[in-house]
Structure 1
Amino acid sequence: MWQRILLFILVVLVLAACGSEATSTPEAATAVPTGRTLVLGDISDEAAETIRGTQPLADYLAGQLADMGYSGGTVKIAPDLDTMIRWINDGEVDLYFDSPYPVLVISDETGATPILRRFRFGVPEYHSVFFVPKGSEIDSLDDLMGQMVAFEENFSTSGYMLPLAHLVELGMNPVLKSAPDSDVAADEIGYVFSTADDTTVQWVVSGRVPAGVTDNVFFSRLPEDTQAQLKIIAATEDVPRQMVLVRAGMNAALVAAIRTALLEMEQSEEGRAALEKFQTTEFEEFAEGAEVELARMRELYELVQAEQ
């Protein structure tokens, strides 16, 4: 008799333990991991300065994402585009901010997704301008046939993608050259990389090249005496100044939280301070959706890729 009672009690205890374990499992499954670090990436040859400007944004976003397990933010600086692509593919960088051309390159190579527009220096959109010395006989792009033009670098939106695609669409046969004094055939427009907008201007003013390309914002901020020595002969279409890119595989809820945090930064003193350090006035949604607004930029991007 006592053996049966003891056996019954033992069975009840085992079942109770199993029930307790079963009810606690869902809680364990939904527990939010802690101690995560949000990583913002950039490409720069001035790492310390870039980190100083970007770290407040990383800190702000990590604070906004605390309930999703983030306890801090950090900034990782790559020396070049290939390194950034590798880091994003390896999951070492979560967010990246840049102009359309590098964003599209990285997106194609990693599957990362543009989610917002960034108003860098308060500028929502910009374009490229072709310029020559004030007294030059070159008055239009047609006059550039057989001439050399200085671009900035081969991953620049305003100093490469926009002007190159513009010339290709006009059927003007742009051809990459190795040096400013390289020969240019009469049926082509030669282009060479200066590596910096300032250098492009210097080359044009000094007569090292007949023409150069930069963006309209940079040109408008040149000293008045420098602008007086130059004239703009053509301009490209406008594109967003910069965009926000999130790595592939990021949880949809996390992407939504990041988007909300960026869009609402202007509403708090801490957010406004981080924006100022990041040289940004605001972030904005793509009015017609990212894919719709990116469609034309992808056309320009593909024209450039076909030239490589």
Structure 2
Amino acid sequence: MTPLRLLPWLSVLSLGCLACDPAGSRIDKPEQPNDSTPQPSNEWQLVWQDEFDGPANTPPSSDKWVHDVGGGGWGNAQLEYDTNKTENVSLDGEGHLVITARKESFGGNSYTSGRINTRGRFAQAYGRFEARMQLPVGRGMWPAFWLLGANLEESPWPDCGEIDIMEYRGQLPAIIRGSLHGPGYSGGNNIGGEYVVSGGKLYEDFHVYALEWEPERIRWQLDGVTFLETTPAKLPAGKRWVYDHPFFILLNLAVGGNYVGPPDRSTVFPQQLKVDYVRVYTRGA
């Protein structure tokens, strides 16, 4: 794959799962969500998917995914070098994509991992975006499932918009966060909230992380439970709602960074983000 780190949009942006305010709003639920895979209602029509079927140790489809390659911290002080090697991003032969973070020297960094996106392959405005995933665990692990505005070359971040469907700190395995980053509300000033699963250990099993996006309403879900909803009325006064154009999909597993801090001696490597599927729907007639 062509290394995308040389492109202007990657070299200047604070991308992906940007540092969030740890003191941001939290929504506590008394019980663990149902582990069964929820099915979208009949109002949703499937338009794009990757079930990650294929032989073990092969890369994800190049018709659907592009690798982001680089180790400059991605604007978030991340510690890994993201590669296009199958040791870091590959299918497992059992219907999963596996992004593996390793403790190893590469490209001037002390860790390797992977980040892939659908830029130039697929982008969509509005609809339902979901992924069934099993998260890693351990201090300094920062997996994310997120969207970035496909117009970023004409409207550099944060004007293009960013939607973090799910990001997570490996040292806090019962908490996920959903966020919006746009002009005047990005980085630590994003619009979002955390969802706390009481007694939950999200790394122990697969869960469905989803976003339902309408022209003036965005909802975040975990296993079919809506835990956050945002509308233009919730933006800071005078700030623009920029979620009215196609966005593309990203999946990554960062090591360290502003949001999670570095790994420590308790962190076991390798760590893995396993993705059973990614599916995108539009609302039916």
Q: TM-score range by the shorter chain?
A: under 0.3
What is the TM-score of this pair, normalised by structure 1?
0.21
Superposition TM-score, scaled by structure 2 size: 0.22
Identify the structure with bigger relative contact order (alpha carbons < 8 Å, sequence gap 6+).
Answer: 2
- Decide which structure has greater helix share: 1
